[in-house]
Amino acid sequence: MKSDEKASSSLIISIPNQQLQLPFSSSTDSSESSSDREKRKAPLITATKKKNGKLKNGKLKKWVCVVNFILRLVGIICALSAAAIMGTSDETLPFFTRFFQFQASQDDLPTFQFFVIAMAASCGYLVLSLPLSIVTIVRPLLVILRLLLLIMDTVALTFTTAAAAAAAAIIYLAHTGNPNTKWQVICHQFGDYCQKVSGAVVASFVIVVAYMLLILLSALALKK
């Protein structure tokens, strides 16, 4: 009888004229059931956290793409201004002789011609990259297009920096001259010309900074 009572997993309650048999579960069963519930809930919690993380990451990358688009617009304005100012900069002195006329123009120096070509090419590239930048705003998690823009921005940065640095060196010599090589200062005579060219060079360095920020933002957006 005792062995039968121990083996049973139910509780018998005697009531006058009838008996009720209630199921009885041990503490080990309850602990196992709670652990099973926790195991079932764990994948759901993990999936929810991953989904929230993806949403936050997507919003952050979308804002990065918006800033990227704005920087491209700034670069277009600066590149177009630099090319237009340098391409139209010339000055003729009011005095001349019978055989000589004193004139300064961007056509006189191949460095300034290269500068105009580089700024025009940079402006054209930035205009063509605007639709791709808009696509990255609509689909901020698209990695391939962002990587393509990063590579092209790096190439454009190299090209633009070379043109800006070369033009800056010529402008520096025009303002200060070089006594060792007997190069005279020409900005005293061609003041308006030097002022225009200097403005174009400053605009070109603004484009260089914009490209550097574009590359930095693209690299941050590619980071998972």
- Tell me, yes or no, whether 180 lies in a domain: yes
Q: Work out the mean pLDDT of the chain and round it to a whole number.
A: 75
pLDDT band at 7 (very low <50, low <70, confident <90, very high): very low
Query: What phi and psi, each to the nearest 5 degrees, are found at residue 92?
Result: -120, 130
Pick from 30-44, 100-114, 133-147 the range whose average pLDDT is largest: 133-147
Q: Does a structural domain hold residue 30?
A: no
Q: What is the pLDDT of residue 3?
A: 45
Burial of 158 (0-12, 13-18, 19+ CB in 10 A): exposed
**How large is the average pLDDT for residues 103-108?**
66
| Domains contained in the chain, number | 1
CA pseudo-torsion sign 61, 65, 67, 68: positive
Structure-block tokens of residue 29? 């069963």
Dihedral sign for Cα atoms in the order 51, 52, 55, 58: negative
Under 8 Å between Cβ of 164 and 93: no
**Predicted local distance difference test score (pLDDT) of residue 13:** 46
Q: Is the pLDDT of residue 179 over 70?
A: yes
User: Domain range spanning residue 211?
Assistant: 53-85+107-222
Asked, for residue 22, whether it belongs to a domain, the answer is no
Q: What is the pTM of this model?
A: 0.68
Q: For the chain, what is the largest distance between any 2 Cα atoms, rounded to a whole number of angstroms?
A: 141
Cβ neighbours of residue 135 closer than 8 Å, sequence gap 6 or more:
142, 145
Q: Would the pLDDT of 37 be above 60?
A: no
> What pLDDT does 56 receive?
56
Q: For position 223, what pLDDT does the model report?
A: 73
Half-sphere exposure of 153 (CA within 13 A, CB side): 28
Spatial distance between the Cα atoms of 136 and 142, rounded to a whole number of angstroms = 7
What dihedral angle (degrees, nearest 10) is formed by the CA atoms of 207, 209, 211, 214?
Answer: -130
Mean pLDDT of 134-144: 82
- Asked if residue 166 is part of any domain, the answer here is yes
Contact 83, 116 (CB under 8 A): yes
In a domain, 38, yes or no: no
In a domain, 76, yes or no: yes
Residue 31 maps to a domain: no
Instruction: List C-alpha distances in Å: 20 to 3, 26, 39, 191.
Output: 21, 19, 35, 112
